Amino acid sequence: MIKKLHDMGLRSEHVYTAAVVSIGLSVGTWAASLRVEPGTGLDRADRWGIFVGEWAPTLFGLGLALSHYEQDEGSLMGKAHADGERQRQTAGAG
Other C-beta atoms closer than 10 Å to the C-beta of 62 total 20
Closest CA to 17 of 70, 64, 63: 63
Domain span including residue 62: 2-93
Cβ atoms of 45 and 33 within 8 Å: the answer is yes
Domain count within the chain: 1
Model pLDDT for residues 8-46, shown as the tens digit of each residue: 999 999 999 999 999 999 988 888 887 877 666 677 778
- What per-residue confidence (pLDDT) applies to 20? 95
- Compute the average pLDDT of residues 65-78: 80
Question: CA angle 47-53-58, nearest 5°?
Answer: 130
Is the entire prediction scored with pTM above 0.85? no
62's CB contacts (< 8 A; 6+ apart) are: 5, 15
